[in-house]
A = this chain, B = another copy of it.
């Protein structure tokens, strides 16, 4: 009872160090030492030593003389190596522009990483949805169609903690506009609904004025290894029998369960 919970059985210092890396990746720009320390609630000396190792490995680079720290070239290399390995990402990305062309909407490919859905690739559609969305953007679990795909089909071990944390936030500021476009406030009900439909939809939630529909690319266990999202400005497309939804579902069905090696 001396130890709280050792969920994964990993090295403590490594875990915290990787936490620092994740926090740096989540931020938008370079960070100063004390900023990182504040974000991780760690003493500066600890952060400094971790960063020394990261800099040595090239994962983090210290800017010329601003002293600030940012992700380095090795991080880039790591990501590219991961991209080359995840065959399903390339496979799923293959027809992405076709999908975008057929529906006229902007098509997104995302995978679950850390605490949210990460956009890995996207193709701009005809409809001028001026999203300023870069690759690597993290979409929220509950307030995006993409995130909700992982809420419904994601690996429970990875998604559950985030879901519970978000739910607490909801409960804390309850009484306000909670789930205007769903009759039930229960997350379980939302999940049930999404699973039944086979796709998630959201209207003007993540970005006002935009609608999104998203469906999973499933692996052999029935878990979402990726999500395909279509973003547009036309509310009617979220109907189950709309051509866009049909197109999306057909696409995801084709990409699902490609191989057992993943």
Q: B53 contacts A70, CB within 8 Å?
A: no
A13 at the interface (CB under 8 A from B): yes
Contact flags A130-146 to B (C-beta < 8 A → 1, else 0)? 00001110100000000
In the assembly, what is the distance between CA of A29 and CA of B86, in Å? 10
Q: B73 contacts A11, CB within 8 Å?
A: no
Looking at A108-116, A191-199, A243-251, the stretch in contact with chain B turns out to be: A108-116
Cβ < 8 Å to B, chain A residues 12-49: 13-15, 17-19, 21-22, 25-26, 29-30, 49
In angstroms, how far is the closest chain B Cβ from the Cβ of A226? 9
Q: A80 contacts B118, CB within 8 Å?
A: yes
Q: Which residues of B contact A25 (CB under 8 A)?
A: 77-78, 81-82
Q: B50 contacts A14, CB within 8 Å?
A: yes
A5 at the interface (CB under 8 A from B): no
Q: Which residues of B contact A22 (CB under 8 A)?
A: 57, 74
In the assembly, what is the distance between CA of A50 and CA of B8, in Å? 11
In angstroms, how far is the closest chain B Cβ from the Cβ of A140? 15
Q: A81 contacts B18, CB within 8 Å?
A: no
Given A53-B10, A64-B262, A86 and B82 contact (CB-CB distance below 8 Å) = no
Q: B113 contacts A83, CB within 8 Å?
A: no
Q: Which residues of B contact A104 (CB under 8 A)?
A: none
Determine the residue in chain B with the shortest Cβ distance to A49: B11
Q: B9 contacts A73, CB within 8 Å?
A: no
Q: Which residues of B contact A120 (CB under 8 A)?
A: 76, 80
Q: Which residues of B contact A183 (CB under 8 A)?
A: none
Cβ < 8 Å to B, chain A residues 208-262: 219-221, 260-262
Interface residues of A (CB under 8 A from B): 7-11, 13-15, 17-19, 21-22, 25-26, 29-30, 49-50, 52-59, 63-64, 66, 70-86, 89, 111-114, 118-120, 134-136, 138, 158, 219-221, 260-262
